A and B are shown apart, each in its own frame.
Chain A
Amino acid sequence: NAGVTQTPKFQVLKTGQSMTLQCAQDMNHNSMYWYRQDPGMGLRLIYYSASEGTTDKGEVPNGYNVSRLNKREFSLRLESAAPSQTSVYFCASSEGSTAYEQYFGPGTRLTVT
């Protein structure tokens, strides 16, 4: 069991470039989440997917899009990267609405210059 995996681990982008962060879980969880973590702050929810085929905005969705490709995979896309999107991005998953524990991936450290 790999748990939650994320690729890439590190990425440097120039302003205006696009990229997709990949996330996969092998725990058969229904719900998946994308968070960002900025220095001195806790994690803030970008988007979530309660179940396969559904996605919803979180607290800070602007500048991002997501795709729940199947039950295992949930990707986050930056269409036109901005320096304000420099952050560490975490993907997480949980069994569903009644689950109380979220399992986190190792994170992707993104720098936009």
Chain B
Amino acid sequence: AQKITQTQPGMFVQEKEAVTLDCTYDTSDPSYGLFWYKQPSSGEMIFLIYQGSYDQQNATEGRYSLNFQKARKSANLVISASQLGDSAMYFCAMRDRGTSYGKLTFGQGTILTVHP
């Protein structure tokens, strides 16, 4: 069963504007973690941000923040003040207790293009 859904195959944003990348998830486990990774055209996977299911506050890391809405099972990534270097593929991923030992389930990804 699909556990992570990213419904936006591609997104465009103007440089210096903010953009939200959507992610919804499905799990019956009360304990889980949500992750965002960035994959530039060079191919490497870069960890961006993490949100635990019991975390009281939304996670933030520099220009990245995670809009965590537990009841709606969504974990959207917000990138503020977009830069040309933010153009990349972005993956949402989840680890729940059913996938122990750190195994991650990934969404299909969203390609973000930042226009100058």
Chain A residues near B (Cβ < 8 Å): 31, 33, 40-45, 48, 50, 56, 58, 88, 90, 92, 94, 96-97, 99-104, 106-107, 109
Q: Tell me, rounded to whole Å, the shortest Cβ–Cβ distance linking B54 to chain A.
A: 12
> Which residues of chain B have C-beta atoms less than 8 A from A109's C-beta?
43
Of the candidates A31, A50, A104, which one forms a contact with B45 in the assembled complex, judged by CB atoms under 8 Å apart? A104
Of the candidates A42, A50, A106, which one forms a contact with B109 in the assembled complex, judged by CB atoms under 8 Å apart? A42
Chain B residues near A (Cβ < 8 Å): 4, 33, 35, 37, 43-45, 47, 50, 52, 91, 93, 95, 100-109
**What is the CA–CA distance of A33 and B108 in the complex, to the nearest angstrom?**
19
Of the candidates B50, B52, B91, B106, which one forms a contact with A101 in the assembled complex, judged by CB atoms under 8 Å apart? B50
Residue in A closest to B104 when the chains form the complex, CB atoms: A102
**What is the CA–CA distance of A50 and B100 in the complex, to the nearest angstrom?**
9
Interface centre among A31, A42, A106, by most chain B C-beta atoms within 10 angstroms, is: A42
Are B91 and A43 neighbours in the complex by a CB distance under 8 Å? Answer: yes
